[in-house]
Chains A and B, each alone.
Chain A
């Protein structure tokens, strides 16, 4: 095989995403399939460019090793999957050269003339990544087998659960019912205080409700007050929400840099747990804090109390104590899709951050309307022109149309979640956190149609959706990663993992990511197309004197 001979790969094919998918989804034509299997997204046409940069970097390494250690310790690095941008950014860090074509003495020895494009602007890559993402993403099932107990009963429970779900899908409720009875009997012989026994218990309960008392299932899953309390316990008991808040705040803080009037729109205020940390961080900002407005969206309180306002008052008190100018506004709405942008009273001069912690998936539940709630909401978010949209979502595929698929996926997802909870310290919060999780399970398993709001979708799907809605990713970098890792050592147990996933961060249990955080920015018009003509047309419209 000659130098740089054929690079065709006949190995395992995967989509360009880092997750596994069916072999029928090959990477888009220009992406190097071999490197995709190694977790890197590089266009074949960019390989020479990347190689040259790597050579350059090697030379730098040899000549100034001190720069190297600076890079490792001080520089903030982003999205290592995107090799082309990665090497360019490393070189920029070294500040050694503008990004232009390299002279031919660095030609590769096969004598080919380097057909080197001009410096690769980041925008170009982003455009192509939206093309990549548009290729249908096969669902990926992330399975960590229920490993808790390999007792016969434990394994049998899993088999029965899946068989039961399968009969529910088929409509054979008689069989499903008798399987429920079998499983309940089996439960008595299994340790239900941990592991598979505990998880199975919740799923048997959910299936049972779906089969035997479907009429109770659609009803509200608890009062507003109850939900907020459970959320708070879930926040305390395990690191997922802390990670979500922490990572979102970090991204928001960075996006607000240099702005004096900032406005955070929180899609689900709850007890406002996320905001004290941001207020304090803004107070300590070099150059002084900005004027902070917070708009908190939440359900209306049934008992006439204005609970949103109460939380706003407490946050105002905190802000006053650290000398941060602060204004709060509560927007009461039962559903996010009921919120209209005028209610948020966004001022065109302020820098806006939209914060969505596990809210967007609730908008996915409608039939094919022309204006689906998610599209509608993403559209008005876009129109607010936010500096950042911080999105955190469960990293799971719980919105599949087939019941069995959804059920199996949920079984493994929540097994992991319960396993991770077990590792956390024994507290009273833990039992209540479990109820919080149980409510989610019930919604995924028992509900359909508008009632099913827990429509979790994995990061890859959200990437596609957000890019199609006109957003581009704001990569969370090594700094956020480092801090998230530190947070973990403080607040949780051995076994939790933060991972970097193409500019996003995930937190999971061992090798299974369970929650994903990402940052987004509006893609402005000229970037949204690489078509020269289109740019010309825009110029024409903007300049009335142009002929």
Chain B
């Protein structure tokens, strides 16, 4: 590991609040326990350790949630919405009427992170995050419980993302808008591996001419075979190591593949061009202390080269996972940006 452990620990301590440091260090420790050198994963222990929360009808801060299970596929989505004003309506989910016929209510399909391997839609950290998104963005959020690696490698997560997109687009009760504009206004969002999934689902949507209005990628998980400058500079310094990144890619990509596989190395030598494709506008958020930032910045450049609309939000002093706890300025900055992104007229 680059640098002595004590040095690394001191680095990360300086830049995050104490409770954030505890949270992310605890994850790091737990994840170390779960990854095995032979590439297998201790799924049982992972599920034991993961803090989960159930959905709730009694609104918390005006937001309630419910789980939908697709009987055919077993795929689970957790839907977060504003609670109805009328208290007697709590507990009844309105599945017949659109969200609104007078204004647009964005629906954000969210893919949680976890390097394709960890976490679930009902993990406490992600449940809380999605709940906050509803309030901040005045949106409905649908969190997708996609299949994870190493049990389910590429392309399972993308297939589940695509299935979720089709499901969301076809729900009458997720539609909004005036007159002819009555439709489901979809955004795709995700952090880490979720960001990677959002990109690939958006590509498929664009090719199939299914409209996605925008993509929000929070330090999305991209990589390539070569080691970039940021990886070398930041290896082990802020919770994440090159070694663990490699492990997750090996667990996700088809056996025998390397990191220039197009799932991983987007806009790389094996990927296709997005030029001319009606791709959604993108908001890409990069954390200045994320060792994989060079790949994310390359992604942004790649979108620009393909003539696509992309905004980069570079948060210099942020580490990965800065958005889990609302105890830092980056969190609030992100929320503002996301709010403007999905409500451009506000």
Contact = CB atoms under 8 A, between A and B. Distances in A.
Interface of A: 1, 3-14, 18-23, 32, 34-35, 37-40, 42, 44, 47-48, 50-51, 54-55, 57-59, 61-62, 68-69, 71-73, 77, 80-81, 83, 87, 90, 108-109, 138-145, 147-148, 150, 152, 155, 158-159, 162, 166, 408-409, 412, 419, 478, 481-482, 485, 494-495, 498-500, 510-513
Nearest to B76: A510
Given A38-B125, A72-B42, A55 B60 contact: no
B58 interface: yes
B328 to A, nearest CB: 6
Highest count of chain A CB atoms <10 Å: which of B28, B42, B327: B327
A38 B25 contact: no
Contacts, number: 233
Interface of B: 1, 5-6, 9-10, 13-23, 25-26, 28-30, 32-34, 36, 42, 44-45, 47-49, 51-61, 64-69, 71, 74, 76, 78, 88, 90-93, 95-96, 120-125, 128, 131-132, 324-329
A177 B20 CA distance: 56
B54 A140 contact: yes
A228 B4 CA distance: 65
B67 A54 contact: no
Contact of B19 (A35, A143, A148, A166): A35
B52 A141 contact: no
Contact of B33 (A4, A38, A71): A71
Contacts of B5: 58-59, 62
B14 A109 contact: yes
B48 A34 contact: no
Contacts of B69: 144, 147, 419, 495, 510
B125 A39 contact: yes
Given A57-B29, A144-B55, A510-B76, A6 B124 contact: no
A34 B26 CA distance: 14
Contacts of B17: 1, 3-7
A19 B51 CA distance: 10
Contacts of B74: 494-495
Contacts of A108: 13, 18
Contact of B58 (A1, A7, A83, A139): A139
Nearest to B29: A57
A47 B19 contact: yes
Contacts of A109: 10, 13-14
Contact of B92 (A9, A159, A419): A159
B325 A481 contact: no
Given A35-B19, A35-B22, A39-B125, A511 B55 contact: yes
Contacts of B48: 77, 80, 478, 481-482, 500
A38 B67 contact: no
A494 B75 CA distance: 11
B53 A72 contact: no
A143 B44 contact: no
A209 B56 CA distance: 30
Nearest to A90: B29
Nearest to A156: B96
Nearest to A41: B51
A55 B36 CA distance: 21
26 contacts: A1-B328, A3-B13, A3-B15, A4-B17, A4-B18, A4-B21, A9-B325, A9-B326, A10-B326, A18-B51, A20-B55, A38-B23, A47-B19, A68-B33, A72-B36, A73-B42, A80-B49, A140-B56, A141-B90, A145-B66, A145-B93, A408-B57, A478-B45, A498-B47, A510-B67, A511-B55
